[in-house]
């Protein structure tokens, strides 16, 4: 018979505890059990009800364009952002705005083939054509907002000005935690503000998720406040999610890896200048080789730059972004990639742990109107999977998000004109409110910060999330499942800040499970997915997406082949 060490709410056997404790003695030596002196029933928490036609979740360039286009199509629009518009998520990391223009040097057909090849043929070609059709016009409109040479801090004031100019309702510092679905259609959402215990209920005919992607809150890259909230909310109401096996390869400095903006300043605060995008399809395998060199014992890894003689890039040199140059001792040129202050310092690979490349994970589009498998639920930008197995059209993240946001806003407006508001009963609202505020109303529970630290210990090592192998993925999955079952239902929050952390921790746990299961299922190496035990690309079996859906209490993964017309011509 299994001996329990704690009774009631926190039943945890010694075997279970040892199982997790083996992940890291420092993290697990003192469990993060805390108490809540201000616990109160959810029934006593006030609520505010807002009715709108279209709800936009997020506050970056995709959300701003979505809101403006929906409003101009004659519907009522509300934007809700967990942070502040243009200054949270990856918005401050805005470094370029590219567009496509057909020319004598690259035709439309050549561009489609180049991007498809770079994305390992898993990119959504219909959304690539959307980008090609709209990006030049969107660039012109964006510049008309007066962004000019605005540099530090992203474009928050510009976005806010456009939102106010178009009389769009804006709610900031409010976290949306659940989506409502009624009769199979979107009915709205619920969340809470950062400053007080209050439920914000938004009844809407359509929701556009522009909430970005997510990571595991590791330092070294400006992505440690995005936590896959949109993916998690969508999954829980039955939407199709994909791309979770593809993980970004980026780096940071050895000396001060947490100085995210200092290390990446040359990229982050570059001037905005639309221009024709050019491709380099070999980027990702070279970036991945950094990890492989370390994995095979070739450490420490030092930046070597590019020689001015042959023009060849040394194996393992990071690529991407705007680069600086300086002469080397041999009279050539050494190029420093974005994110690298010194070519002579070793680097730390894997600073974006838990994040996929832009648009390489998220809601799987149903058709070419930025819609999901749930009627009334739309998505744009990094919340919508369109990019393939890697960042296949580097430099176009911001412009691509703007294009998709504009389209999603227009399509959402068209949808609400043809569909009525789905009613949500008072009992459903009360149940949702109880779920959201459970960490605030419990008298004792586990610190979300502590659980997140344990999760990072499981997932962040490069040999789990990037250089993958079945036995390591299965071990990590077993421990993530344990965290989900044992601790996620028992998180505690002493204030609304901790309440936000509790929901983010649950979302990161869910997405970690998705990533591990998808990584196990894809038995090949493709783009940003590398399997040590399956190092070859398998086009015969894996020119396909892995679709993740909720099946009762289980997670269901299925394989969906890409259209025949999108397959490479051999």
Residue range 537-566: mean pLDDT, rounded: 97
Least confident interval from 164-178, 209-223, 347-361:
347-361
**Residues facing residue 60 across a β-bridge:** none
Most confident of 2-16, 118-132, 294-308: 118-132
**What percent of the chain shows pLDDT beyond 70?**
77
Q: Where residue 298 falls among pLDDT bands split at 50, 70, 90?
A: low
Which residue shows structure tokens 């403006």?
A: 68
Show the CA angle centred on residue 287, arms to residues 282 and 293, nearest 5°: 125
The confidence score (pLDDT) of residue 251 equals 76
CA-based nearest residue to 507, from 94, 219, 211: 211
CB atoms within 10 A of CB 540: 7
Q: Which of 38-52, 151-165, 180-194, 333-347 has the lowest mean pLDDT?
A: 333-347
Rounded-to-integer distance, Cα 397 and Cα 402, Å: 9
CATH 3.50.50.60 domain locations along the chain: 44-252+352-418
The pLDDT of residue 315 is 37
| pTM of the predicted protein model | 0.88
| Multiple choice CATH, 11-42+434-540, 1.10.132.20, 1.20.58.100, 1.20.1530.20, 3.40.50.300 | 1.20.58.100
- 48-52, 104-108, 225-229, range with greatest mean pLDDT: 48-52
Name the architecture of domain 44-252+352-418.
3-Layer(bba) Sandwich (3.50)
- Dist. CA 62–CA 358, nearest whole Å: 13
- Burial zone of 357 (CB within 10 Å; 0-12 exposed, 13-18 middle, 19+ buried): buried
Contact 46, 198 (CB under 8 A): yes
Residue 24: pLDDT band by 50, 70, 90 thresholds? very low
User: Cα separation of 259 and 348, whole Å?
Assistant: 12
The single residue listed with the structure tokens 């239902």 is: 489
Q: Report the chain's mean pLDDT, rounded to a whole number.
A: 84
Average pLDDT over residues 321-339: 54
**Comma-separated ranges of CATH 1.20.58.100 domains in the chain:** 11-42+434-540
pLDDT at 22 over 70: no
Beta bridge partners of 446: 33, 491
Q: Is 246 left (phi over 0), alpha (psi -120 to 50) or beta?
A: beta
Per-residue model confidence (pLDDT) at position 104: 77
> Angle 348-301-278 (CA atoms, 0-180°, nearest 5)?
75
Sign of the CA dihedral with 244 first, then 248, 249, and 252 last: negative
Strands (E), 118-242: 169-171, 174-182, 185-193, 198-209, 241-242
pLDDT of 464 above 50: yes
The pLDDT confidence band at residue 376, using thresholds 50, 70 and 90, is: very high
Angle separating helix axes 496-521 and 470-486, nearest 10 degrees: 150
Both tokens assigned to 350: 């894997």
Tokens 């946001």, residue located: 405
Q: Give 344's pLDDT tier (boundaries 50, 70, 90).
A: low
Q: Which residues contact 503 (CB under 8 A, 6 or more apart)?
A: 175, 177, 229, 436
Q: Residue 49: its pLDDT value, please?
A: 97
């Amino acid at each position: 018979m299994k001996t329990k060490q704690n009774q009631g709410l926190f039943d945890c056997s010694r075997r279970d505890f040892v199982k997790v404790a083996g992940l890291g003695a420092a993290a697990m030596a003192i469990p993060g059990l805390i108490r809540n002196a201000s616990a109160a029933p959810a029934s006593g928490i006030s609520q505010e009800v807002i009715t709108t036609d279209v709800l936009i979740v997020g506050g970056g360039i995709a959300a701003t364009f979505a809101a403006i286009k929906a409003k101009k199509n004659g519907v009522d629009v509300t934007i809700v952002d967990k942070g502040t518009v243009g200054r949270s998520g990856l918005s401050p990391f805005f470094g370029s705005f590219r567009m496509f223009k057909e020319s004598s040097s690259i035709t439309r057909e050549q561009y489609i083939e180049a991007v498809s090849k770079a994305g390992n043929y898993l990119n959504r070609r219909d959304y690539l054509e959307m980008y090609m059709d709209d990006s030049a016009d969107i660039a012109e409109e964006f510049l008309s907002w007066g962004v000019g040479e605005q540099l530090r801090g992203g474009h928050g004031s510009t976005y806010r000005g456009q939102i106010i100019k178009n009389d769009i309702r804006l709610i900031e510092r409010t976290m949306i935690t659940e989506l409502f679905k009624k009769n199979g259609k979107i009915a709205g959402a619920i969340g809470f503000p950062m400053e007080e215990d209050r439920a914000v209920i938004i009844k809407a005919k359509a929701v556009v998720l522009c909430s970005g992607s997510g990571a595991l809150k590791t330092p070294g890259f400006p992505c440690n406040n995005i936590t896959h909230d949109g993916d998690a909310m969508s999954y829980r109401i039955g939407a199709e999610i994909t791309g979770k096996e593809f993980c970004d390869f980026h780096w940071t400095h050895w000396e001060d890896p947490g100085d995210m903006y200092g290390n990446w300043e040359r990229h982050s605060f570059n001037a905005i200048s639309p221009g024709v995008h050019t491709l380099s399809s070999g980027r990702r395998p070279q970036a991945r080789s950094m990890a492989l060199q370390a994995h095979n014992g070739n450490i420490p890894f030092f930046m070597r730059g590019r020689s001015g003689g042959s023009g060849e890039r040394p194996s393992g040199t990071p690529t991407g972004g705007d680069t600086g140059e300086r002469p080397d001792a041999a009279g050539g040129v050494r190029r420093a990639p974005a994110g690298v202050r010194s070519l002579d310092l070793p680097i730390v690979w894997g600073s974006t742990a838990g994040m996929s490349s832009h648009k390489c994970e998220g809601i799987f589009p149903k058709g070419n109107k930025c819609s999901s498998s749930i009627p009334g639920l739309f998505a744009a930008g990094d919340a919508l999977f369109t990019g393939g197995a890697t960042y296949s059209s580097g430099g176009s993240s911001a412009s691509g998000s703007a294009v998709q946001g504009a389209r999603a806003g227009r399509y959402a407006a068209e949808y609400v004109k043809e569909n009525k508001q789905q009613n949500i009963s008072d009992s459903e609202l009360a149940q949702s409110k109880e779920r959201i505020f459970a960490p605030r109303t419990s008298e004792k529970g586990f610190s979300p910060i502590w659980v997140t630290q344990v999760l990072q210990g499981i997932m962040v090592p490069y040999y789990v999330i990037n250089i993958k192998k079945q036995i390591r993925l299965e071990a990590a999955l077993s421990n993530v499942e344990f965290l989900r079952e044992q601790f996620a239902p028992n998180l505690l929050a002493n204030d609304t800040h901790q309440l936000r952390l509790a929901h983010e921790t649950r979302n990161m746990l869910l997405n970690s499970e998705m990533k591990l299961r998808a990584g196990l299922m894809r038995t090949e190496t493709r783009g940003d997915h590398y399997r040590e035990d399956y190092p070859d690309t398998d086009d015969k079996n894996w020119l396909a997406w892995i679709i993740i859906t909720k099946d009762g209490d289980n997670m269901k993964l299925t394989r969906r082949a890409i259209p025949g017309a999108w397959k490479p011509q051999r």
